[in-house]
A and B are shown apart, each in its own frame.
Chain A
Amino acid sequence: MTSGWARLRRLAPAAAVLAAMAIVTASAEIPLNERRSGYADLGRETKAMQDDDTANPGMLAVLDGETLWSAKAGSAGRSCADCHGDARASMKGVSARYPAFDAASGRPVNIEQRINLCREERQQAKPLAYESRDMLALSAFVGLQSRGQPIAPPDDARLEPFRDAGRETYNRRQGQLNLACGHCHDDNRGQRLAGIVIPQAHPTGYPLYRLEWQSVGSLQRRLRNCLIGMRAEHYAYGAPEYVELETYLMWRARGMPMETPAVRP
């Protein structure tokens, strides 16, 4: 009798794991040769806006970022350029490789977190808040140096558990509408949600200018919007879940060209 109970109690965690697995219903990943950037579905005018640097509103953030790159900051009195030199050379392809593994924290960090690590450790400056003008400017300027470069997640085994966690979050039903990211962006990509073509959710152009926002915003801002649309609780900016999602999404978009600063509706 007691052994029966003991066995049941041992089995309970396994049952819980099975129940959790049932909730995660993985969508089929998009075949590599069927992937397309949201750019492909833009109207002619929005495409033209992205393509012309004098018309692309995201370039204003880039220009601000260029100024910040050479501005001394923090008690170290050092600028980004003092260590990294000309960003056109030193930052080429960098945003295309992030999130990357940070040995000190034992976790992946995205490009915004990398910028803040530099600020805190090298410049002894205060970290910049997510979505602040300066953070968007610096990440847009750094991102521009990867424009046209293929997204190239590091071949780093330490990233794998975080990428897997991101994939699980992507495929987990959430919110009052009980939807997973993959329900729209994999299973129903190219269909129309309320008349609007559902993109494949490849983060090729962040930070990007969204006409709906009338401003530049980060990938995490976009993820937050989607979660609110699903009527789910969103995560705090910089939360591990977001960085894991970013890690998965960049891997999912591997090889696709960077477009920062992209323009989207």
Chain B
Amino acid sequence: MKFMLTALLANVLVMTAAPAQEALQRYEVVGDAIPSSLTGVPGDAERGRAIVLKRENTCLLCHSGPFPDERFQGDLSPNLAGAGARWSEGQLRLRLVDASRLNPATIMPSYYRVDGLTRVGATWRGKPILTAEQIEDAVAYLTTLRQ
């Protein structure tokens, strides 16, 4: 009986120790935009720049941008320079969150979507590429790219 209780307790501990799956924030699409912040607060443009530049976040695999010091940038996709002039904040947000809503054939990954994907590796399963906070920071940064 004592053994069973210990086992039960151990189970509970393991379950609480496992990181809780972050549920995705709900959002509303209006036209071709998500007008409201996913987190309810504005992002931080400085942190957003670091997010866009960080290799694991994959932006610069396909895009180039106004980053003269970055040697390895892609040219599969539009240059990020001027993105903030071409698109509104809400339009940028939807394009990061789930660009496939606008163009099902796009190669732009959906950075804030976990459903409708096939054979996602165990390390990444059930997780969006970026968190809601990271999306907001990146959006805040991209809106500053007006030239």
**Chain A residues near B (Cβ < 8 Å):** 23, 25, 172-179, 183, 187-188, 191-196, 198, 227-228, 231-234
Contact = CB atoms under 8 A, between A and B. Distances in A.
B31 interface: no
Contacts of A179: 107, 109
Interface of B: 55, 58, 60-62, 71-76, 100, 104-105, 107, 109-110, 117-125, 127, 129
Give the residue among A183, A198, A231, A234 with the most B Cβ atoms within 10 A.
A231
A176 B121 contact: yes
Query: Which DSSP category, helix, strand, loop or mixed, fits chain B's interface?
Result: loop
Contacts of B121: 175-176, 227-228, 231-234
Contacts, number: 74
Contacts of B117: 173, 175-176, 178
Contacts of A183: 107
A187 B124 CA distance: 26
Contacts of A25: 104-105
A27 to B, nearest CB: 10
Nearest to A234: B121
Given A176-B109, A176-B129, A194 B118 contact: no
Contact of A191 (B76, B127, B129): B76
A169 to B, nearest CB: 10
21 contacts: A25-B104, A25-B105, A174-B118, A175-B124, A176-B120, A176-B124, A178-B100, A178-B109, A188-B76, A188-B107, A191-B74, A192-B73, A192-B76, A193-B62, A193-B76, A194-B55, A194-B60, A195-B74, A196-B72, A232-B120, A233-B120
B99 to A, nearest CB: 10
Nearest to B126: A176
A23 B124 CA distance: 20
Nearest to B113: A178
Contact of A231 (B62, B74, B123): B123
Contacts of B62: 193
A23 B120 CA distance: 15
A177 B127 CA distance: 11
A250 B82 CA distance: 43
A120 to B, nearest CB: 31
